[in-house]
Structure formats: C-alpha cells, structure tokens
C-alpha cells in the first residue's frame, strides 16, 4: 500500500498516521498538509524519522502539487482527512470551507481518477462526518447511512457537497471509493477550540468554560484512536461506493461532558458559564453503526470514562503543546469572533 494521507498534521489525521505506520502492509505513507492554524507539525514530528514516511507541506487544492505527489510516490491509496472542520468558524469565514472541503476534495478525486486510468489506483477513503445528516432534534431516532443529507451550517454543507462529489466519482468514473461518517471525536492533540479541549485548557487556566444554550445538546463521543481503526478497516475492507457510519455509542449531553471534565481535573462547577446559543445549533446527533460492525468487524474499544481520563491526562502532561496555541493571539481571535457571534454573551432570562 502506497498511501497518501491528507491533513495528517491535524487531530484525527495524525492519529491515523500512527495507526497506518504500525502496519507492515503499508509500504509508504505521504502526508500532504498545508499546516493551517489547526495542522500542527508537532503532531507528527516523531514520525519524520521513519524511512517509510514523508511530510509534504502544501494545499490539497493545488492540482499541480497533488499530481506531482501522485506521480513521484506512485500513490495507490488515499485517506482524505484534510478539512476545515470547526462549525463556529464556518459561521464567519465560510469561504475557506468551500475551498478546502469541496475544491480540495475535487482535486484529489481527479488525481485518483488519473492514476486509476493508468491502472494503478486501488482505494480512496473519504473521511466525513455525522453532521451531514443534519439534526435529530428530540425525536429519539438515529442517523442511518440511508438517511438523506440535510446539513444545517456552512461547515456541514461543505462536507455534504464533498461527500456527494466523492460518491459521484464512483458512479461516473468507477473510482473505488469508500466514505466514513463518524461522530464527535475526542482525545489527545485536538485543537483547543472544540468543546472538550477548550473546556480542559480553560479549566487548567482556571478560566470560565462557555456552555452554549441550555447545555442539553447531545453528541455521541468517539475516541480518536477508535475512529482511526475504523477508517483503516473501511479502507481495507469497505465495499466501493459504500458509506460506513462510525459512532462512539457514547451519547452525552454537553453539560454532562463538561461536568465530567471538571471533576476529572478537580475543578469547581462554578467555572461553568452559560452563554448565548450557537446560531443553527444542531440539537442531537446519533449514529446507527451496525453496517461497520457487521461488514468491517469494527467496534469502538475505548469506553467514554477511559477515553476522557486519557484525554485529560494528555493535556495535563503536554502543557507546552496547548500553551503554544492558547496564546494572546488565540484570545484576541476569540474575543473578536465569538463576541460578534454572541457566543460570549450571557443569555438574558
Ligand atoms: O459530529 C461530528 C462533528 O463534531 C465534526 O464533524 C466537527 O468537525 C466537529 O467540530 C464536531 O462538531 P460539533 O459542533 O459537535 O463540535 P464542537 O466541539 O464545536 O461542539 C460540541 C458541542 O458543544 C456542540 O453542541 C456545541 C457545544 N459547545 C461547543 C463549544 C466550542 C459549547 O457548548 N461550548 C463551546 O465553547
């Protein structure tokens, strides 16, 4: 397997790099990453010593660069992680989401199609999200792979666009492509703008932790290493043209998650600060992952309690990692944008 991983300096991509390099079936791993704000070189620096591994810094939407990497490295597998992924950011800067998530995906699909036509391309794994299905509200239902896509924010709309484009290449060009849609990931190295690492790092600094709306939105939490295993299994064993939901089977209200983090850190619940709700805030996501369980033989292995303990321990032990991000420029950015969105304001009674 000569594998191109896009976005391997990110949170999920770097967990996947480790999983891939631990397998002897993988002859070569090339990581194409633009090192944007959330792509951290230090997430993979120890891998740079591996002879089978190469980091290429560049944009997936740069067709000439992507073509060169495919040719030079004789790529026959792609695992496509690179994406703008933070919902809040998509509310004030949607263009980058279309550039990377839609245009970047198209460039990769075209490169894979070209390699396929030359007879040497085997599998494209497109990494997606449960957010493309939309919002479950309080119905108690779950998303299945057959649930129609109904994204509700610019981020999820751009991912849904990418999914549809990717699946169209199966039909029109016979590209052997598989899609995974996972639930909320958490674990070491997650950029501290997402709920869990924001709460952990704020609490470690004895700062207030913002909870949007009533805190009763529900997410299904999947430990990042379990997602990496599921994605690898889908790349190896998934049926071309098929979608596989990868759920954590850990549905929790946000407030429950926040309280568990504060308890794990020994911090008081008085740090919780309710703020105005995220515009278009999806109430609940939950996945039916029976297809992945049955066809891929995959199931999450890490319990929520174990995953949370490992996550909190990692942030405690790796303060230089998050301090380098949580600097004055992060605070200035947060003030500017979250102030505008009202995500810093106290709700009025
Ligand atoms: O479900 C998969 C998706 O999970 C991925 O596709 C996205 O890339 C990923 O960002 C995540 O989306 P969410 O919007 O669910 O994640 P986020 O960490 O931003 O928020 C989780 C929940 O916590 C959500 O209900 C909003 C809430 N929240 C978030 C932040 C950052 C707060 O209450 N306070 C906060 O400060």
Residue 194 belongs to a domain: no
**pLDDT value at residue 193:** 97
217 pocket-lining for ligand 1 (C-beta < 6 Å): yes
Phi/psi class of residue 206: alpha, beta or left (left: φ > 0; alpha: ψ in -120 to 50)? left
Q: Is 138 annotated in the active site?
A: no
177 pocket-lining for ligand 1 (C-beta < 6 Å): no
**pLDDT value at residue 349:** 55
In terms of Cα–Cα distance, which of 147, 65, 66 is closest to 111?
66
Query: Phi/psi of residue 186, each to 5°?
Result: -150, 165
Residue 45 belongs to a domain: yes
86 pocket-lining for ligand 1 (C-beta < 6 Å): yes
198 pocket-lining for ligand 1 (C-beta < 6 Å): yes
**How far apart are the C-alpha atoms of 22 and 3, rounded to whole Å?**
13
User: Among 184, 220, 258, 274, which residue has the most ligand 1 atoms within 8 Å of its CB, making it the best to mutate?
Assistant: 184
CATH number (domain holding residue 77): 3.40.50.720
Tell me the C-alpha to C-alpha distance, in Å, between residue 52 and each of 17, 25, 31, 112, 219: 11, 12, 11, 21, 37
130 pocket-lining for ligand 1 (C-beta < 6 Å): yes
Q: Is 155 annotated in the active site?
A: yes
Which residues of the chain carry a pLDDT beneath 50? none
Instruction: State the distance from the centre of ligand 1 to the C-alpha of 38, rounded, in angstroms.
Output: 15
Sign of the Cα pseudo-torsion (217, 161, 91, 97, in order): positive
Can you tell me which atom of ligand 1 is nearest the CA of 219?
A: 15
Instruction: State the distance from the centre of ligand 1 to the C-alpha of 11, rounded, in angstroms.
Output: 14
Residue 319 belongs to a domain: no
282 pocket-lining for ligand 1 (C-beta < 6 Å): no
Can you tell me which atom of ligand 1 is nearest the CA of 213?
A: 33
CA angle, 327 then 11 then 297, to 5°: 160
Q: Is 269 annotated in the active site?
A: no
**pLDDT value at residue 340:** 78
Q: Would the pTM of this model clear 0.85, i.e. be above it?
A: yes
101 pocket-lining for ligand 1 (C-beta < 6 Å): no
**pLDDT value at residue 142:** 96
Residue 280 belongs to a domain: no
Residue 80 belongs to a domain: yes
Residue 298 belongs to a domain: no
**How far apart are the C-alpha atoms of 158 and 150, rounded to whole Å?**
11
Residue 135 belongs to a domain: yes
Instruction: State the distance from the centre of ligand 1 to the C-alpha of 194, rounded, in angstroms.
Output: 6
**pLDDT value at residue 70:** 98
Residue 123, Cβ density class (10 Å: 0-12 exposed, 13-18 middle, ≥19 buried): buried
**pLDDT value at residue 348:** 66
Which one is catalytic: 76, 88, 131, 163? 131
Which one is catalytic: 133, 155, 212, 244? 155
pLDDT in tens, 124-159: 999 999 999 999 988 889 999 999 999 999 999 999
Can you tell me which atom of ligand 1 is nearest the CA of 217?
A: 25
Residue 293 belongs to a domain: no
Tell me which residue range forms the domain holding 134.
2-186+222-246
Domain count, the chain: 1
304 pocket-lining for ligand 1 (C-beta < 6 Å): no
């Amino acid at each position: 397997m000569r594998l191109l991983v896009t976005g391997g300096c990110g949170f999920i991509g770097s967990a996947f790099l480790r999983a891939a390099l631990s397998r002897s079936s993988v002859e070569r791993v090339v990581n194409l990453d633009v090192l944007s704000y959330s792509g951290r070189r230090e997430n993979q620096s120890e891998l740079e010593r591996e002879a089978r591994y190469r980091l290429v810094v560049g944009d997936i939407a740069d067709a000439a660069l992507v073509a060169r990497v495919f040719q030079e490295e004789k790529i026959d597998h792609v695992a496509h992680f690179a994406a703008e992924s933070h919902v809040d950011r998509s509310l004030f800067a949607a263009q980058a989401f279309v550039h990377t998530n839609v245009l970047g995906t198209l460039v990769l699909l075209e490169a894979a199609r070209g390699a396929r036509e030359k007879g040497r391309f085997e599998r494209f794994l497109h990494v997606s999200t449960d957010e493309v299905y939309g919002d479950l509200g309080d119905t108690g239902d779950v998303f299945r792979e057959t649930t129609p896509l109904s994204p509700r924010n610019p981020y999820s709309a751009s991912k849904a666009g990418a999914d549809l484009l990717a699946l169209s290449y199966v039909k029109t060009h016979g590209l052997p492509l598989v899609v995974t849609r996972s639930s909320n990931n958490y674990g070491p190295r997650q950029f501290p703008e997402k709920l869990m690492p924001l709460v952990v790092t704020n609490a470690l600094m004895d700062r207030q932790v913002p909870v949007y709306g009533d805190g009763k939105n529900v997410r299904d939490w999947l430990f990042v290493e379990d997602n990496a295993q599921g994605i690898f299994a889908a790349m190896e064993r998934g049926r071309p043209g098929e979608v596989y939901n990868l759920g954590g089977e850990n549905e929790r209200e946000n407030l429950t998650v926040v309280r568990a983090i504060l308890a794990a850190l020994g911090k008081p619940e008085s740090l919780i600060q309710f703020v105005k709700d995220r515009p278009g805030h999806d109430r609940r996501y939950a996945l039916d992952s029976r297809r992945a369980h049955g066809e891929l033989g995959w199931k999450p292995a890490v319990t929520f309690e174990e995953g949370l303990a490992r996550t909190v321990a990692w942030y405690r032990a790796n303060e230089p990692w998050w301090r380098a991000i949580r600097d004055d420029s992060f605070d200035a950015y947060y003030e500017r944008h979250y102030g505008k969105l009202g995500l810093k304001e106290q709700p009025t009674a």
